[in-house]
Structure 1
Amino acid sequence: MKIFLSAGEPSGDLHAANLIHAIRERVPDAEFTGYGGPKMTEAGATLVYPLVNLAVMWFLSVFQNIATFLWLIVRADRCFRDDKPDAVVLVDYPGLNWWIARRARARGVPVFYFVPPQLWAWAGWRVEKVRKFVDLVLCSLPFEPAWYRERGVSHAVHVGHPYFDELCERDLDEAFTTAQEAHGRPLLAILPGSRTLELKRNLPILARAAAKLAKLRPDVRFAVACLHDKHRALAEEIIADALADAAVDGLPAPDLEIFSNRTPELIRVADVAWSVSGSVSLELMMEALPTVILYKVRPIDLWIARPFIKAKYITLVNLLADAELMPEYLTSRDVSDDLVRHAETWLGDPQARARTTAELAALRYTAARPGATSRAAEEILARLRGPAPEDAAYRGPHARAVSLESIEEADAGA
């Protein structure tokens, strides 16, 4: 069995790697290739291109890399033609993955979407692409299958979010957490995102907020959690510039340290957090850590995106709760005062902090369902082995043969 996977971000790389392990437990001789990152390589996949290194967002960034994306589409198509896999598994990363799905469909390769993009939040019209090019949607959130069914996509099942699997299996560095707890002072964790552009846009606001809170609460320590050493070096530069500007306004330098590869440990020991929006919010929920969510974009990007945003919240935790348990700011302005206000409340009012912690813990009890990766592996293998008799009514996009010419006609009209 040969499976081609495509994951374009660090979180997707990890989800794909764990899916490889889950499938290999069931099919030991399965072979894996595709686009991804170091986690997929460690899991035994043959990497055609390190797509994680190209993680980009927003329109201009995509345009600047258009030649590379076009080459990746052609390269994937050649893989499907010359060494046809039994399945293609896409992991989040909409945009490029839609094109990979098109080419797989043209070559008659079944397509599975694991951790599908949140179309219900901002791009509902793209459900047509799911109908045309995806055989089975492996949904992360419990309300997604119904959303797809209402729009004519019957081939969607809820398996859960794989992030909960990874959290359950994660080992923390106890020596590090013990050393941090020994300080005996409140700790605020700053999580500036896993993408370079996220750091550049969000970290200046987060650093300025730290300086403002330090003026009110000089006892508070701050820890910045970076994905890796390259981001740590960039964070040092950004924070130095932001604090220099803050000093001009009479703000003190906060007691702040920058770490790489320490995100789980810092979340465990922190009293409060400021975080960029992303799947890390699920980890923050698991630890019941009071958190403010920030996502800073350029005014033009926000103006373009606003008409397409259909979800009530941008944060997964708030979506699961259908309430704003984590105050969130999708914004183009400086909201450092808001970040400080929430943090000061949680640090200074034990009852307010206890209420937030209790709400997050209650949501964790109902929403944190482990086993998503195993369920996804079972669903993929079941479809590849053929529908069971009781499932004979299932008809995915590959229920009939389709010519390359008809696909190209469909592409032209999509």
Structure 2
Amino acid sequence: MKIFISAGEPSGDLHAANLIHALRERVPDAEFTGYGGPKMTEAGAKLKYPLVNLAVMWFLSVFQNIVTFVRLIVLADRCFRDERPDAVVLVDYPGLNWWIARRAKARGIPVFYFVPPQLWAWAGWRVKKVREFVDLVLCSLPFEPAWYAERGVKHAVHVGHPYFDELQDRDLDETFTTAQEAHGRPLLAILPGSRTLELKRNLPILVRAAAKLAAKRPDVRFAVACLHEKHRVLAEEIVAETLQGCSGLPSPDLEIYAARTPELIRVADVAWSVSGSVSLELMMEALPTVILYKVRPIDLVIARPFIKAKYITLVNLLADAELMPEYLTSQDVSDELVRHAERWLSDPEAMARATSALAALRYTAARPGATSRAADRILAWLRDPAEAVAPYRGPHASSRPISLESADVDDAKA
């Protein structure tokens, strides 16, 4: 069996790698190729292009890379013609993946979308492409199958969000967490995003907010969680430059770390984070968080008419309430970030309300086993499409939510 997988972001690369492992458990001699990143390579896929290195967002960035995208579409089409994979699996990353789906369907190859883009939130008209080019949508969120069905997509099933699988299997560095806890002072985790452009746009606001909060609460420590070492170096430059412009404000007690996001989320008291799937991890730890997503004014003007969802944050969408205050903005909202963090840190009742709401949502929404269910559905479709859309009866059919050591609200962030 040959399977082509296309993932274009670090999170998608991880989800794709885990799916490869799940599929190989079921089909040991399966071969994997496609577009992705280092996680897919580690899982045994033979990459035709490191698409994760080209992770882009917003309209102008796409146009700037149009020649590369066209080349990748042609390369994928040649693969479909010459190597004839049994299936094509797309992981998030709309735009390029629509074209890959189009070429796969033209070659008569089944197409599966794992972690589909949030069309219900924006660009809802693109559901036509799902109807035309995708055989089976493997939905991450429980309301998505009904949304697709109402718009004529015949085959969409809820498998759950693979992020919960990764959280369940994750090991933390206890030496690091113990050292952080030994400080005995409140810790605010800053999560500036996994993309370089996100880091450049959001971190200056987050650093200004840190300086402003330090003026009011000098006891608070700050820790910036970067994806990797290159981002850590870039973050150091951004922090230094931003603090130079914060005249009249104290320099916050701030450290910058690479590849320590899970540990910092575990030990933090509150957080400021860029919007993304990391919000699910923040929910799992019942960590009161403000969500920021800074864009250019022109991008916001272009995007606003297409945004249909009430919220931009997965946690808020799952709760249908703003459990995490969120700001999709082109403005400096550092004062708002400070206001929320100061309230949680200074008011135990406000902190308890925030953690309790997140813990309650965690209990109802965190369902592990998405990757295994997705693998079962894909293989079932290749045997018999009717079997793939039947009620799930696999080993991970239970809807019981994930269980953490911090399951009790009082223990989560006491």
- Higher mean C-alpha displacement, 232-241 vs 274-283: 232-241
Q: Is 1:100 aligned to 2:100, yes or no?
A: yes
| Equivalent position to 2:309, from 291, 308, 311 | 311
| Change in 2 beyond 3 A, CA 1:375/1:203 | same
- Superposed CA offset, 1:158-190 (max 9, x none): 000000000000000000000000000000000
Residue 376 of structure 1 corresponds to which residue in structure 2? 374
Structure 1 spans left out of the alignment, 5+ residues:
393-414
Q: Is this contact kept in 1: 2:272–2:292, CA < 8 A?
A: yes
Equivalences for residues 15-414 of structure 1 within 5 A: 15-246=15-246, 248=247, 250-388=248-386
Secondary structure of the structure 1 residue equivalent to 2:88:
strand
| Change in 2 beyond 3 A, CA 1:203/1:285 | same
Give the letter aligned to residue 129 of structure 2. Answer: K
Task: Report the Cα offset of residue 114 of structure 1.
Answer: 0.1
- Superposed CA offset, 1:107-155 (max 9, x none): 1110000000000000100000000000000000000000000000121
* Structure 2 length-normalised TM: 0.93
Cα separation, 1, equivalents of 2:191 and 2:135: 36
Task: Report the Cα offset of residue 385 of structure 1.
Answer: 1.2
- Superposed CA offset, 1:17-55 (max 9, x none): 000000111111100000000000000100110000000
Cα separation, 2, equivalents of 1:390 and 1:288: 35
Give the letter aligned to residue 286 of structure 2. Answer: A
Give the letter aligned to residue 134 of structure 1. Answer: V
Cα separation, 1, equivalents of 2:387 and 2:87: 22
Cα separation, 2, equivalents of 1:291 and 1:166: 21
* Structure 1 length-normalised TM: 0.93
Task: Report the Cα offset of residue 387 of structure 1.
Answer: 3.4
Secondary structure of the structure 2 residue equivalent to 1:100:
helix
% identity of equivalent residues = 87
Cα separation, 2, equivalents of 1:204 and 1:57: 19
Q: Is this contact kept in 1: 2:381–2:387, CA < 8 A?
A: no
Give the letter aligned to residue 106 of structure 1. Answer: A
Cα separation, 1, equivalents of 2:318 and 2:384: 33
Task: Report the Cα offset of residue 389 of structure 1.
Answer: 7.4
Give the letter aligned to residue 239 of structure 1. Answer: V
Cα-Cα RMSD:
1.0
Residue 396 of structure 1 corresponds to which residue in structure 2? none
Cα separation, 2, equivalents of 1:309 and 1:147: 16
Relative contact order (alpha carbons < 8 A, sep ≥ 6): 1 or 2 greater?
1
Give the letter aligned to residue 176 of structure 1. Answer: F
Cα separation, 2, equivalents of 1:195 and 1:237: 16
Secondary structure of the structure 1 residue equivalent to 2:137:
strand
Task: Report the Cα offset of residue 63 of structure 1.
Answer: 1.0
Task: Report the Cα offset of residue 59 of structure 1.
Answer: 1.1
Task: Report the Cα offset of residue 60 of structure 1.
Answer: 1.1
Q: Is this contact kept in 1: 2:157–2:389, CA < 8 A?
A: no
Task: Report the Cα offset of residue 64 of structure 1.
Answer: 1.0
Give the letter aligned to residue 183 of structure 1. Answer: H
| Change in 2 beyond 3 A, CA 1:78/1:263 | same
Cα separation, 2, equivalents of 1:381 and 1:330: 39
Secondary structure of the structure 1 residue equivalent to 2:245:
helix
- Superposed CA offset, 1:350-404 (max 9, x none): 1100110000000000000000000000000000112357979xxxxxxxxxxxx
Give the letter aligned to residue 206 of structure 1. Answer: L
Q: Is this contact kept in 1: 2:165–2:371, CA < 8 A?
A: yes
Give the letter aligned to residue 67 of structure 1. Answer: V
Task: Report the Cα offset of residue 94 of structure 1.
Answer: 0.3
Cα separation, 2, equivalents of 1:33 and 1:390: 23
Per residue, is there more helix in 1 or in 2?
Answer: 1
Give the letter aligned to residue 39 of structure 2. Answer: K
Secondary structure of the structure 2 residue equivalent to 1:121:
coil
Residue 395 of structure 1 corresponds to which residue in structure 2? none
Q: Is this contact kept in 1: 2:88–2:104, CA < 8 A?
A: yes
